[in-house]
Amino acid sequence: MMRNFILSMIICALFICAIPKISQPCTTFCLDKGDQLLFGRNFDWMVDDCLVIINKRGVTKTALTDHTKDIGQPARWTSKYGSITFNQHGREFPTGGMNEVGLVVESMLLEETECPSPDARPYINMMQWKQYQLDNCSSVEEVIASDSQIRISSTVPKLHYLICDKKRNCAIIEFLEGKMVYYTNETMPVKALTNITYKELIEFWKEGKLPITNLGRSVERFATVADMLKEYDPKTLKSAVDYAFDILKNVAAVGAITTEWSIVYDIKNLRIYFRTLENEKNRHINLKSFDFSCKTPVKVLDIQADQSGDVTKKFIAYTQQINRGLLRNSFKKTPPFLVTDDFRKIPLFGSIPENLLDAISQYPETTTCTNK
């Protein structure tokens, strides 16, 4: 029990990819015009390590258990769909990804986020929530409906989400004052999201004003994306994928926080394109080429590998040691303290014991393939 308690605490600390008082100005959008259906994402941070992971269908899972307080039972499920995710904080805790039926789930920092009070629903943390949706849902409607089945239990980090599916539906989901708030169709005039609430983004964008709190120039980035989405002409000689990368380039972060990687999901054709700050070569992955049955091994790809073009066949077999290496590097490169609201510095990563890194990296071993 004590080991699980410490593990829960350390993993929560690990998820400080959006540390308070440090800007993490990520951007997402959906380019939906003509026969094009693309989802763009910039990941802006100071840590560049990431594994691209092939997640399997038919796997039983239990949400990371929080032993720090009495909040009910963790969520349990069996994955219906395989997916490809981008993971900086270990397997099963993605920054975002797309599943085999074209659902894309991505997240960004939102300081106003508040999780619900404990109730009868089983709980899950905000990072694993994304994997849950990719595992279980084929549409935006199903993601929204899942709020009646599971409950966000931890807001470390504090996130909101942009989600799109193959039916051309998109939604922005936020958890404000303990309740899910979402925007779709008529309530979502611009399919884009940055780092303040969507309601505020739309209000300031329409009024041409800037808020007092404007994390990472959120309103300016949102306005740039909105204008470029409107200006896109499907008849242009430039491909839609290249245009989507142009949008991401125009809202890229520079300075202490940089755009570590940019992703364009081709939802219609089930392809993923990506570039990184370290390796600017275009790379792409074809989801249709993978066997997502859990009878086959989980595979991974280092996002920073010196490759280009189609990297679908470049994935290697996952091991717990690879996961451990990712976690070790993420700990090492993340600032060694958390700055609280009263400006106290709480040490986080200065002396993480090796045995705890081992425990965190072994978390995926708690999942079980049902088709063996």
Question: Residue 333 — pLDDT band, cuts 50, 70, 90?
Answer: confident
Mean pLDDT, residues 189-193 taken together? 98
Total Cβ atoms within 10 A of residue 315: 19
Q: What domains sit in the chain, N to C, each tagged with a CATH number?
A: 2-369 (3.60.60.10)
pLDDT of residue 215: 64
pLDDT of residue 210: 76
Least confident interval from 68-72, 170-174, 263-267, 312-316: 68-72
pLDDT in tens, 159-185: 999 999 999 999 999 999 999 999 999
Share of the chain above pLDDT 70, in %: 85
Q: Taking 70 as the threshold, does the pLDDT of residue 129 lie above it?
A: yes
Pick the closest to residue 5 from 67, 69, 70, 64 (CA basis): 67
Mean pLDDT, residues 354-362 taken together? 78
Q: Is the pTM of this model over 0.95?
A: no
